[in-house]
């Protein structure tokens, strides 16, 4: 759907796992209160129609873009369910735990008697086969499982032995990522069919006859679903509609019940009486990638990078470009997100004089010149233009490369040939974020900047848990802010528009995307 897709677009173009919406509930699955005994069907609604601006390239859960998972989540139940409050609940797995210390051995106990939509019973071997396919399919989730081994350790038990510590298996196996969406043996036998058909154990299955790939996706209840009370609709239709205005019009007339929105239609949606909800989702700003000073020597100076942060009037920029959907931010997370510290948003108050002082102290009293690549969607290019003007006042000349083609944009910034670029990134657990955003191998770190201090914090973080992990998350975030690796500008949310005859569209900081599973008919 649009905003999700927008994030995907950046990631698609950027092949960036970093763009994974991590801890956000891009895709949901399963009910919030799984039951163990099958019950009678309780589909109480007629048809739920959801609209989004872009469709998925495939329905294969292991090769689809994570941000497109709305299109497969209805048919694939995850092993673990992430609840709206951020907590975890049983899905196809009834319990899970790390064995021993070090976050390398993860044990899953599976639900018994679960059937896929083709009627076959799920076994532990099916789950192992699915994990192996995750790695083989080389999709977005593959890097998080590459090198791990998967073993059947009981009739209904599977153990993952990780090559390197991974404290986030519980999160990676929720609906927010796709690795926990288990595919039936039939699907794994015919992987070519996974693109256009569904083979899951979720509450619905794709009705291929009523589906036009890339345009309309129709789902009907899975007769074998283990938690029938969680099936709220006789039919769910997801329509791809390329115009935000068309979607708004369809919502006004009731042809569509639910959709993502954007800043351009926010006021109109509120005026039309639609239910509008939103929560922080992504941060957007500049990645000062050439921190080694390979192309622009000045960027190797932390004072220079800090100067750029001081000379950024975030309040004005957010007011002008992200009114109603964003708040100013100086950190690479969103309020309530992983590693977030309110105090980190007061490190760089807008102060051009201070910026000039820092530039002079770094040996650049008259500024310097650098190029910056930007995509041209969702105000990114406008943000680049605005920053160019602001930074000009301290002598920094920015040559903007505005890439209309998303692939070209991704290639430009990921190839390490442009010293800075506009970045959009979804919040996610730090251990997951590192390989995408700031570790030397990360795509958002194209000059491979290495910091022993940051690496040390990261290495401690991936083996920690509980409060210790939270503290380490915040230390990582503090390091990135203090050393000005980025110039974050806005933490923006994704507005959702819903007609008043449905409920379950509330979102929170830990679950900023509406879970289609939890949308129900409003009770009159």
Partner 1 sequence: MIRIAARWLVSSVALLFAVTALTFVLASLAPGSAARAVLGANTSVTPQQYAQVKRQLGLDKPLPVQYWDWLSHLLHGSLGNDLFSGQPITAALGTRIGASLSLIVATIVVSGVAGVAFGTVSAVRGGLTGRILDALTVFGFALPSFWLGLILIDVLAVQARLFPTTGYAALGSDPGQWLRSIVLPVLTLSAGTTAAIARQTRDSMLQVFGRDFITALRSRGLPLRVIVGKHALRNAAIPVVTTLGVVFIGLLGGTVLVEQVFAIPGLGEAAVTATSSHDLPMIEGIAFYFAILVVIVNLLVDISYSVLNPRVRMAP
| Interacting residues with partner 1 between 348 and 377 (CB under 8 A) | none
Residue 341 makes contact with partner 1 by CB under 8 A? no
- What is the distance between the alpha carbons of residues 183 and 223, in angstroms, rounded to a whole number? 17
- What is the distance between the alpha carbons of residues 263 and 251, in angstroms, rounded to a whole number? 16
The encoded tokens of residue 490 equal 């806005």
Instruction: Give 287 or 330: the residue with its C-beta nearer to partner 1.
Output: 287
Report, in Å, the least distance between residue 26 CB and partner 1. Answer: 12
CA-nearest of 483, 176, 489 to 334 is: 489
By the 10 Å C-beta count (0-12 exposed, 13-18 middle, 19+ buried), 523 is classed as exposed
**Which is it for strands 204-206 and 326-328: parallel, antiparallel or unpaired?**
unpaired
Among 40, 100, 155, 253, binds partner 1 (CB under 8 A): 253
Among 4, 16, 334, 362, binds partner 1 (CB under 8 A): 16
The size of the interface with partner 1 (CB under 8 A), counted in residues, is 59
How many residues does this entry show for the chain? Answer: 524
Among 241, 286, 334, 430, binds partner 1 (CB under 8 A): 241
Spacing of C-alpha 265 from chain mean position? 22
Residue 139 makes contact with partner 1 by CB under 8 A? yes
Q: Tell me the window of 118-126, 212-220, 393-401, 460-468 that interacts with partner 1 (CB under 8 A).
A: 212-220
Residue 146 makes contact with partner 1 by CB under 8 A? yes
Residue 18 makes contact with partner 1 by CB under 8 A? yes
Residue 500 makes contact with partner 1 by CB under 8 A? no
Residue 47 makes contact with partner 1 by CB under 8 A? no
Among 1, 24, 43, 67, binds partner 1 (CB under 8 A): 67
Residue 289 makes contact with partner 1 by CB under 8 A? no
Residue 178 makes contact with partner 1 by CB under 8 A? no
| Interacting residues with partner 1 between 106 and 125 (CB under 8 A) | none
Buried b (16+ CB within 10 A) or exposed e, 484-514: bbbbbbbbbbbbbbbbeebebbebebbbbbb
H, E, C per residue of 309-376: HHCCCHHHHHHHHCCCCEEECCCCCCCCCCCCCHHHHHCCCCCHHHHHHHHHHCCCCCCCEEEEEEEC
Instruction: Give 166 or 312: the residue with its C-beta nearer to partner 1.
Output: 166
Report, in Å, the least distance between residue 4 CB and partner 1. Answer: 12
Between the alpha carbon of residue 37 and those of residues 44, 75, 154, 233, 234, the distances in Å are 19, 19, 22, 20, 21
**Helices 2-13 and 406-414 meet at what angle, rounded to 10?**
50
Report, in Å, the least distance between residue 210 CB and partner 1. Answer: 9
Residue 64 makes contact with partner 1 by CB under 8 A? yes
H, E, C per residue of 12-39: HHCCCHHHCCCCCCCCCCCCCCCCCCCC
Among 25, 59, 172, 484, binds partner 1 (CB under 8 A): 59
Q: Tell me the window of 55-63, 221-229, 332-340, 474-482 that interacts with partner 1 (CB under 8 A).
A: 55-63
DSSP reduced 3-state for 134: helix
Report, in Å, the least distance between residue 12 CB and partner 1. Answer: 5
| Interacting residues with partner 1 between 436 and 465 (CB under 8 A) | 436, 441-443
Residue 175 makes contact with partner 1 by CB under 8 A? no
Among 57, 109, 385, 470, binds partner 1 (CB under 8 A): 57
Instruction: Give 216 or 508: the residue with its C-beta nearer to partner 1.
Output: 216
Residue 511 makes contact with partner 1 by CB under 8 A? no
- What is the distance between the alpha carbons of residues 91 and 93, in angstroms, rounded to a whole number? 5
DSSP state of 1: -
8 A C-beta contact, residue 418 and residue 412: yes
From residue 389 to residue 428, what is the string marking binding to partner 1 with x (rule CB under 8 A)? ----------------xxxx-xx-----------------
Q: Phi and psi (nearest 5°) for 390? A: -65, -45
Report, in Å, the least distance between residue 143 CB and partner 1. Answer: 4
8 A C-beta contact, residue 20 and residue 206: no
By the 10 Å C-beta count (0-12 exposed, 13-18 middle, 19+ buried), 417 is classed as middle
Opening angle at CA 192, ends 190 and 198, nearest 5: 75
Residue 261 makes contact with partner 1 by CB under 8 A? no
Residue 242 makes contact with partner 1 by CB under 8 A? yes
Report, in Å, the least distance between residue 172 CB and partner 1. Answer: 14
Report, in Å, the least distance between residue 481 CB and partner 1. Answer: 22
Instruction: Give 32 or 57: the residue with its C-beta nearer to partner 1.
Output: 57
The residues of the shown chain that bind partner 1, judged by CB under 8 A, are 8, 11-20, 55, 57-59, 63-67, 138-140, 142-143, 146, 192-196, 212-216, 239-243, 245-246, 249-250, 252-253, 255, 405-408, 410-411, 435-436, 441-443
């Amino acid at each position: 759907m649009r905003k999700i897709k927008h994030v995907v677009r950046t990631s698609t173009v950027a092949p960036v796992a970093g763009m994974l919406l991590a801890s956000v509930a891009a895709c949901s699955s399963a009910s919030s209160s799984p039951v163990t005994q099958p019950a009678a069907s309780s589909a109480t609604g007629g048809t739920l129609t959801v609209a989004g601006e872009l469709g998925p390239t495939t329905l294969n859960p292991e090769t689809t873009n994570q941000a497109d998972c709305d299109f497969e989540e209805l048919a694939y139940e995850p092993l673990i369910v992430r609840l709206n409050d951020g907590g975890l609940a049983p899905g196809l797995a009834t319990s899970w735990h790390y064995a021993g210390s070090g976050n390398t051995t993860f044990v899953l106990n599976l639900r018994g008697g679960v059937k896929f939509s083709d009627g076959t019973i799920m076994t532990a071997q099916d789950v192992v086969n699915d994990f192996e396919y995750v790695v083989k399919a080389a999709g977005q989730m593959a890097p998080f499982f590459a090198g791990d081994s998967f073993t059947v350790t009981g009739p209904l038990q599977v153990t993952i032995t990780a090559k390197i510590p991974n404290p986030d298996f519980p999160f990676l196996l929720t609906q927010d990522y796709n690795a926990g969406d288990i595919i039936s043996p039939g699907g794994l036998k015919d992987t070519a069919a996974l693109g256009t058909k569904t083979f899951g154990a979720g509450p619905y299955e794709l009705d291929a006859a009523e589906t036009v790939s890339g345009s309309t996706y129709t789902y009907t209840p899975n007769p074998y679903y283990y938690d029938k009370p969680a099936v709220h609709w006789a039919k769910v239709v997801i329509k791809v509609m390329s115009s935000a205005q068309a979607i708004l019009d369809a919502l006004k007339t009731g042809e569509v019940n639910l959709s993502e929105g954007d800043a351009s239609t926010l006021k109109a949606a509120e005026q039309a009486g639609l239910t509008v909800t939103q929560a922080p989702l992504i941060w957007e700003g500049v990645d000062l990638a050439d921190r080694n000073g390979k192309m622009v020597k000045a960027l190797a100076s932390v004072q220079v990078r800090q100067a750029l942060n001081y000379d950024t009037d975030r309040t004005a920029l957010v007011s002008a470009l992200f009114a109603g959907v964003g708040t100013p931010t100086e950190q690479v997370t969103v309020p309530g997100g992983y590693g977030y510290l309110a105090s980190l948003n007061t490190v760089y108050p807008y102060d051009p004089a201070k910026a000039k002082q820092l530039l002079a102290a770094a040996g650049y009293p008259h500024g310097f010149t650098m190029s910056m690549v930007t995509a041209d969607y969702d105000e990114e290019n406008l943000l680049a233009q605005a920053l160019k003007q602001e930074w000009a006042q301290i002598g920094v000349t920015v040559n903007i490369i505005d890439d209309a083609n998303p692939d070209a944009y991704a290639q430009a910034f990921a190839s390490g040939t442009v010293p800075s670029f506009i970045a959009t990134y979804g919040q996610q657990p730090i251990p997951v974020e590192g390989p995408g955003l700031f570790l030397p191998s990360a795509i958002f770190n194209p000059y491979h900047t290495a910091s022993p201090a940051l690496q040390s914090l990261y290495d401690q973080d991936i083996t920690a848990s509980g409060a210790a992990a939270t503290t380490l998350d915040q230390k990582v975030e503090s390091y990135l802010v203090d050393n000005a690796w980025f110039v974050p500008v806005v933490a923006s949310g994704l507005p959702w528009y819903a007609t008043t005859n449905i409920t379950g569209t509330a979102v929170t900081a830990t679950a900023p995307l509406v879970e289609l599973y939890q949308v129900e008919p409003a009770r009159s």
